[in-house]
Structure 1
Amino acid sequence: MSRLLAAITLPLSIALTIIVTIICSVPIIVAGLIKLLVPIPAVWRSISVFCNFMMYCWCEGLALLLRLNPWLKWDVQGLDGLNKKNWYLLISNHHSWADIVVLCVLFRKHIPMNKYFLKQQLAWVPFIGLACWALDMPFMRRYSRGYLLRHPEHRGKDVETTRRSCEKFRAHPTTIVNFVEGSRFTEEKQQQTRSPYQNLLSPKAAGIAMALSVLGSQFDKLLNVTLCYPENNQKPFYDMLSGRLTRIVVRVSLEPVTEELHGDYVNDKNFKRRFQRWLNRLWEEKDRQLTEIMQQAEK
């Protein structure tokens, strides 16, 4: 793609994305305010259905914008057997803001609307923050080890947020999404955290462990998703907006939610170690998968 065409596409894509987001988020915000003012369970359920529909419309809008890129190709495996009437826990590697767009667009017709564990900072993003609040998406504030040593009273607050948020999802089929690395992957972060993986940061188990603790019996499957942009690995979100994104690779693996994954992650040290080892094994396989995808793209 020429630089001139990319320069034209970028502001146009940004403008269209903002318009789609505003059109879909304003009704969600209004519905959320009604939900706040009318604490009646029947009203809340109706509002939840409406908000999920508006989120679906947002996903459709994003899908349309992606279809405007004639160079973009999807390479997807593993969507068979999914059902919008089931409960899913979806875990994925996190490389870029493009990941959220890809997950929303790809799964919109296959599973219930995604509910993301979001960073606290996103609560202040205009329209997006308020819309996510109305959709009952949990905002989590992660504390550094040094901060918790100075303020031990904050220890476990993100875990308690997870518990409260998951309780809300019992009433209707839901897909809970967790980027278990806790942050977008960069080589700098990989070195700073001494990650043992070539393409990933080390996974954090607390969020999904608490989700399984609260809703474990309701989850039908765990969706282990691997995302990769082999030809746009450096700036996939920028390339998506500028029309330069050429290939999205997604691999989906359905994992059983067994009794071994249910336990007290906070107080049972043995369970905590077992759970972390299980997650580490998934991450080792994901790291190998990403390496293979990148190597195939280089051929």
Structure 2
Amino acid sequence: MVASIRAILGLLVMLINTLIGIGPMMVIALAKLIVPHQPFQQRCARGVMWIAEKWVDANVAVLNRMLDTRWELRGDFNPRLDTSYLVLCNHQSWVDIAALVEVLNGRVPYYKFFLKRELIWVPLLGLAFWALDYPLMRRYSSEYLKKHPEKRGLDLEITRKACEKCRGMPITVVNFPEGTRYTPAKHEAQQPGFRHLLQPKAGGISFVLASIGDQIDTILDISIVYPDGVPGFWDLLANRIPRVIVDIRQYPLDQQWVRGDYRNDPAFRSRFQQWITELWQQKDERIGFIHTSVDAERTE
């Protein structure tokens, strides 16, 4: 009962924060839409991101005051606000976003998440996603694409347009390469060759790099681990998550991945996919090591 009341109060506070921030954000976003002047639009974009950062700051402060969750940051992470990052993260739960916000907000430029298009219909938040120019991806089944081949590559075009709007501004692009949340059933169906991960999709990453890779300096390879089992967002609000481990590895971006043509050059596409697969293999090993170390702690 206490946990449910705590969760409801947390939701109410975040709703109030959202209502306060959404009005000014919409005014600036509409001005950006109406006035076709790029310098003005970029100033508007910075204004929208500033409001979003303050909204996140308020929500993080509320959650940290309400919750006992321990956010454990590991790895090598030397954040800067004057550069652009590409974040590659595993995906298990809505809590992943809270974990990323906890460790990244205020330390790196404001981030853009790749989201499912259906989220545009979430009340208030959908408007915020639109105002922030978040890439809203539409997933098609292989059967649908066979019937509608003209839809192939649509997500890549959405990625390109969203990234072009970021040009000239420090930005953190957050990508979940698996394209969906990990579940045992999905893992069993895919048989991906990883113990803790699904198969990564390289195409979206390549298009981000092709669009604004020349201004991205660093890749943040982030692995999120829930030692007590994968939670839901309600578990977070109800204070049922004792500990979250966030491991960050920081790599300089090799410019060879910026210059290639993923769509039309099969040799480059093969090399790029191999690079992402190797990153994922290393991530899988790190996640396994973290789980092993946690188990060892509990047996001491």
Instruction: Work out whether the TM-score is over 0.5.
Output: yes
Runs of at least 5 residues in structure 1 that lack an aligned partner in the other structure: none
Does 2:36 match 1:39? yes
Q: Summarize deviations over 1:208-239 as a string: whole Å, max 9, x none.
A: 101111212211101111111212x2324222
Q: If the length of structure 2 is used for normalisation, what is the TM-score?
A: 0.93
Distance 2:288 2:256 in 1: 29
Match of 1:124 among 116, 121, 125: 121
Does 2:244 match 1:248? yes
Q: Is the 8 A contact 1:229 1:236 kept in 2?
A: no
Distance 1:9 1:254 in 2: 36
Change (3 A) 1:80 1:294: closer
Q: Is the 8 A contact 1:26 1:127 kept in 2?
A: no
Single out whichever of 39-48 and 185-194 deviates more from structure 2: 39-48
Corresponding residue SS for 1:170: coil
Distance 1:274 1:215 in 2: 20
What is the Cα deviation at residue 92 of structure 1?
0.3
What letter corresponds to residue 117 of structure 1 in structure 2? F
Q: Is the 8 A contact 2:226 2:243 kept in 1?
A: yes
Runs of at least 5 residues in structure 2 that lack an aligned partner in the other structure: none
Q: Summarize deviations over 1:27-73 as a string: whole Å, max 9, x none.
A: 21222112212222232122111111111112212211221245221
Change (3 A) 1:186 1:203: same
Q: If the length of structure 1 is used for normalisation, what is the TM-score?
A: 0.94
Distance 1:166 1:234 in 2: 31
What letter corresponds to residue 247 of structure 1 in structure 2? R
Q: Is the 8 A contact 1:60 1:105 kept in 2?
A: no
Q: Is the 8 A contact 2:231 2:241 kept in 1?
A: no
Distance 1:270 1:230 in 2: 40
| Identical positions, percent | 37
What letter corresponds to residue 47 of structure 1 in structure 2? C
Question: What value does the CA root-mean-square deviation take over the aligned residues?
Answer: 1.5
Partner of 1:191: 188
Q: Summarize deviations over 1:248-289 as a string: whole Å, max 9, x none.
A: 111111112113313111111111111111111111111121
Q: Is the 8 A contact 2:67 2:237 kept in 1?
A: no
